[in-house]
Amino acid sequence: MRNWVIVGAFVTTLVTGPSGLAQEPPFGLQWGDELISLPKASQIYEMENITTLFYEGDHLPAGFRDIEQIVLKLCKKSGLQQAVSASRLLSGEDARGQFASAYAEANRRYGRPDDGDPERGTASWSKARVAMFARLAEPGFYRVFIVQDGPAFEACVKAES
């Protein structure tokens, strides 16, 4: 199992701080890592070629005050190939701030997004395989999501079909 301390810095800043977005997955992992090297999940869902691991509550490291859930998808032949983080419920102002911070860092790292509308809370960088968006979760509250795809994710999804 990987050390959760290594994990904290990446995923916490994924939504909350300036060093957030990166092409590497969270938990100090590498694309292609297998199930046996991952921390214990809250839930596991298996469907043909893809195993989905959910991390929430006590299964998230301490200090994840703005992250409510992390979802990792592993493909049978290519290991870890997708990481998704979902923020806790945020007020509109807090969600705009979280999104703006992560968006600014992504622009610094990857340049201007090639898709999305940042004013409406969406952006993606296809070469970096990173997308982010803010969504209304309940009246007056939003979640900020960041999705990172590994290099073999498309092939994995196609194999699922």
Q: What is the reported pLDDT for 66?
A: 82
User: Which residues of 4-161 form beta strands (DSSP E)?
Assistant: 43-47, 50-56, 67-75, 79-87, 90-91, 122-125, 130-138, 141-149
Element (H, E) at 41: none
Q: Of 84, 107, 73, 95, which Cα lies nearest the Cα of 144? A: 95
The whole-chain average pLDDT of the chain stands at 81
Q: What is the reported pLDDT for 34?
A: 77
d(CA 78, CA 70): 20
In degrees, rounded to 5, the angle at the alpha carbon of residue 60 between the alpha carbons of residues 3 and 15 is: 100
Higher pLDDT, 39 or 117: 117
The pLDDT of residue 86 is above 50: yes
In single-letter form, the type of residue at position 77 comes to K
Contact in structure between 116 and 106 (CB atoms under 8 Å) = no
Q: What is the reported pLDDT for 160?
A: 61
